[in-house]
Amino acid sequence: MAEAPAAGDLYSLLASVFGFSSFRPGQERIVRALLDGRDVFALMPTGGGKSLCYQLPALLVDGVAVVVSPLIALMKDQVDGLRELGVPATYINSSLTGNEIQERQRALLAGQVKLVYVAPERLMMPAFLRLLSAARISFFAIDEAHCISEWGHDFRPEYRELRRLRELFPSVPFAAFTATATTRVQGDITQQLALRDPVRFQGSFNRANLHYEVQPRRRVDDHVVAYLRAHPQASGIIYCASRAGTEDLARHLNLEGIKALPYHAGLDSEVRRRNQDAFIKDDVRVVAATIAFGMGINKPDVRFVIHYDLPKTLENYYQESGRAGRDGDPSDCILFYSGGDAAKLRRFAEEKDTEEERRIARWQVEQMAAWAESTTCRRQALLAYFDEAFAGQADRCCDICDVPGIEEDVTVEAQKLLSCVVRTRERFGLAHVIAVLRGSQSEKVLKFGHDKLSTHGIGRDRIDDFWRHLGRHLLGMGALRQDSDRYNVLSVTESGRAILFGGRRVTMRVPPVKRAETAPADESVANPELFERLRALRKRLADERNLPPYVIFHDRVLREMSSRLPYDSHALQAIPGIGGAKVKSYGEMFLAEIRQYRLETGTAPAETEPLGSARPRGLSRTARDSALLFSRGHDIAKIAQMRNLTPRTVYGHLAEAIEAGEEIDLSRLVLPARRARIEAVLHDEGYDMLAPVRERLGEDFSYGEISLIRAYLIARERGRASA
C-alpha cells in the first residue's frame, strides 16, 4: 500500500477533480481508512456521498479498484460521470460486445484504468477471477451491500458468493457500502464478507430534505394528477405494485396531458432502456414503475416519489422514497394507504416456502403497516426502525408534524366505534362499520338490518376521515384486530374491551384532512430566467453527448451560477461541484451564457458589487433554520449532522444571518486573536474574494471562519452588525 497523501494533497485532488473544497461528514475518515489498507463498513444515506469514498482513494492507490455494482445502468451512469471528470474508469458487463470486453480487460491488465465496475455474477465467473488474479487490485468496494443479507430488503443470492473473494484475495482490503441496513443486516453483511476489524462509519438515516406524507387510498388518480399539475417542472417516480398498474397509470396521465412512461421487468429490454433514458435525460418527467426501477437511477433532481401501492417493507420504503432529493433539495415522499393493502401483503407473506421466510415476511408487513397507520411523527418512527433517535428538526418534516396541536381525548368516539364493531357481531371491515356510524342507508347496511342498530347514525357529527383515522389508531394501539384471512374483518381485543367497559382513556392527534397537492418548500432561485437558460444549455449539451443532464452539472450548481454570476473560470471553479475538468469541458459555454444575460439585463455579479452598495439580503429560510439551531446552543458540527449538511454550508448560513443583521455570537465560533488576524487581512485584501485572504492567512484558517468575519465587517459598515 502506497504512503498515504498529506492532507493538502488529498484536499487538492478533491477540489481539482471533484470540485469540492471540503468533505461531507464521514467521507475523509473512510477515504483515509482505505488509503491505510483497512477494511471498511460504511452506512451512508442516499445522497450522502458514498461514491466519492471509494472513487477518491482509487486515484491515490496503486492498482485498480473493483466496484461491485448490481445494475448495468448504474455502472454506466457512474462511469460516464467519472470520465467527465477525467478519471480513467470502465465497466464490464453484458451490454458490451465481445471485442469491447476484451479491449477493456486489456486496459485493466495494463494498469490504464483506476476503477472497474462489475456485477457480482460476472465477478465470480472463473475466467474473470483469473483475470483479476493477474492484475493489481487496490481494493474491492461492494456497493448496495445490503443485497447480501437475507434480512435485507433486496436480497440477491449471487451476492452471497462474494465471500469467496476473501479466500482468493486475502491481502486486498474490502469496503462495504449501503444506504439501508438495520442492526441485524449490518451484522450479516460484516459476517458474510468476513470483514476484518473494519473501520465503521454510520451516518444518520435522516434525510432532512424529504417530507413524508401518508394519504388515504381513495381517488388516488385524482390526487396524483392534481399534485403533478401543481408541480409542472418537477421530475418524479410513481411506484406501483403491478406491471399492469404502471401501464394503466402512465396511460391515464398521458390522457390528462402529463407526459409519463411505464417501466417494469415485463417490457422489452430496449423499451425499458429507452424509457429510463428518457427520464434520466429530462425528456419525460414522470415514470410509473415497479420496484424494478430505481437502483440503477442516479438522477439527483427527483423532486417526488409517490407510492401508489404499499411497499413490502419499511426498508423498501426507505430505499425507494430515498430516490427523491439526492441533491439535498426539498422533495416530497407521498404514500397512499389502505388496510386492504396491508391485508394483501399479509396473504403474500403466507405464500412463502418456509416457516422462517413466512416469519420474516409477516414481521416486515406489520412494521410497514404500523408505520403507515401511526399518528406520531413519521420521521421519528422511520428512524426508530433503524435504531436511530430523532430530536426533531426545523425543516419541514411530515404530514403529522405539519399540524401543530395537542392530543385530543377521543374516548367517547372510540367507545362508539368499538361498540359498533360489537353490534355488527365482529363480521365486517372498517368501511362498513363507519357507514353504520355515519347513518348510511346503503344497500349493504339495509340488507343486514344495521339501520336498526343503536349505533346507527351516532357518528354523524364526525366526517369519514376522522373515523378512518380513529380506526387506524385503535388498530395501532391493539384495541382492534384485523383478520386478513376474513377480508379484514374487525374484532375487539381485551385492550379494546378495557376502553369499552374498563374506563381506559384514548387520546389521539386529530389532523385536518390534507390532500397530496401540498407544494414542497422549493429553494428560491436568484435570476430565475438565467437559471432556465442554463438548464436549456445543459440539456442541449447533454443531448449532443448522449449524457444525462446532471452528469454535466447538478441543478444546485446551476442555481449557484445564477446567483453568483461568475465572470471567469476562476470564479466558476469556486462554485462547489465544479472541478477543473468540468471548467475545461463546459466552462466557456456557460460563462458565455451568463455574460449574455448580464449584457441583456444589466445585472451585476454579486462578487463585484462595491461593499455597502448592495441592498441588504433577506435571510433565506434554510439560513434562518441554521441560525435558530445555533441560538439554541448547538455547534457547527451538530447543526450539520442534524440537517444533513456540510459544516461549510452551515458556516455560510451563519454568515448570511450575520450579514442580515441577526444576532450571532461570534465568540463561540472564532477566538479573539484569530478574529483580529482575519480582520486585518480582510482590510488589506478586500472583501470581494476569499481565496487571496485564505492564502495569506494559511491553511490553519478555514474559509468558514473567514466568511463569518467578512459578513460581520460588511454588516458593520451597513450599520446592521449586532455581533
In eight-state DSSP terms, residue 522 is P
Q: How confident is the model at residue 511 (pLDDT cuts 50, 70, 90)?
A: low
CB-CB contact of 143 with 40 (8 Å): no
Select from 597, 536, 532 the least CA-distant residue to 567. 597
Q: How confident is the model at residue 485 (pLDDT cuts 50, 70, 90)?
A: low
Is pLDDT above 70 for 201? Answer: yes
pLDDT for position 624: 77
Q: How confident is the model at residue 627 (pLDDT cuts 50, 70, 90)?
A: confident
Task: Please state which of the ranges 128-137, 247-256, 607-616 shows the lowest mean pLDDT.
Answer: 607-616
pTM, full prediction: 0.58
Q: How confident is the model at residue 63 (pLDDT cuts 50, 70, 90)?
A: very high
pLDDT for position 450: 96
Q: How confident is the model at residue 150 (pLDDT cuts 50, 70, 90)?
A: low
SS (H, E, C) 541-578: HHHHHCCCHHHHCCHHHHHHHHHHCCCCHHHHHCCCCC
What pairing do the DSSP bridges indicate for beta strands 507-508 and 408-409? antiparallel
- Please tell me which residue, 132 or 692, carries the higher pLDDT value: 132
C-alpha angle with apex 395: 295 to 400, nearest 5 degrees?
A: 85
Is pLDDT above 80 for 690? Answer: no
Is pLDDT above 60 for 522? Answer: no
Per-residue buried b or exposed e for 342-368, using 16+ beta carbons within 10 Å of the residue's own CB: bbbbbeebeeeeeeeeeebbeebbeeb
pLDDT for position 188: 85
DSSP string, 307-362: ESS--SSHHHHHHHHTTS-TTSS-EEEEEEE-HHHHHHHHHHHTTSSSHHHHHHHH
Q: How confident is the model at residue 155 (pLDDT cuts 50, 70, 90)?
A: low
Select from 657, 638, 712, 723 the least CA-distant residue to 682. 712
Tens-place pLDDT, residues 212-247: 999 988 888 889 999 999 898 899 999 998 898 999
Residue 13 parent element (H or E): helix 7-13
Q: How confident is the model at residue 152 (pLDDT cuts 50, 70, 90)?
A: low
Is pLDDT above 80 for 404? Answer: no
Is pLDDT above 70 for 64? Answer: yes
CA distance 683 to 699: 19
Is pLDDT above 70 for 515? Answer: no
pLDDT for position 537: 92
pLDDT for position 127: 92
* Cell numbers standing for residue 28: 475523509
Q: How confident is the model at residue 609 (pLDDT cuts 50, 70, 90)?
A: very low
User: Which domains does the chain possess?
Assistant: 7-202 (3.40.50.300), 210-385 (3.40.50.300), 408-508 (1.10.10.10), 528-608 (1.10.150.80), 621-717 (1.10.10)
Task: Please state which of the ranges 169-183, 289-303, 540-554 shows the lowest mean pLDDT.
Answer: 289-303
CB-CB contact of 333 with 304 (8 Å): yes
Give the SS3 label for residue 118. Answer: strand
Terminal CA-to-CA distance of the chain, rounded, Å? Answer: 49
The average confidence (pLDDT) of the chain is 83
pLDDT for position 433: 95
Task: Please state which of the ranges 21-35, 85-99, 393-407 shows the lowest mean pLDDT.
Answer: 393-407
pLDDT for position 607: 41
Task: Please compute the mean of the pLDDT values over residues 458-472 and round it to a whole number.
Answer: 86
pLDDT for position 652: 83
Q: Per mean pLDDT, which of 54-63, 597-606, 629-638 is the most reliable?
A: 54-63
pLDDT for position 614: 34
- Please tell me which residue, 611 or 376, carries the higher pLDDT value: 376
Is pLDDT above 80 for 109? Answer: yes
- Please tell me which residue, 708 or 485, carries the higher pLDDT value: 708
CB-CB contact of 445 with 451 (8 Å): yes
> What whole-number percentage of the chain has pLDDT above 70?
88
Is pLDDT above 90 for 23? Answer: no
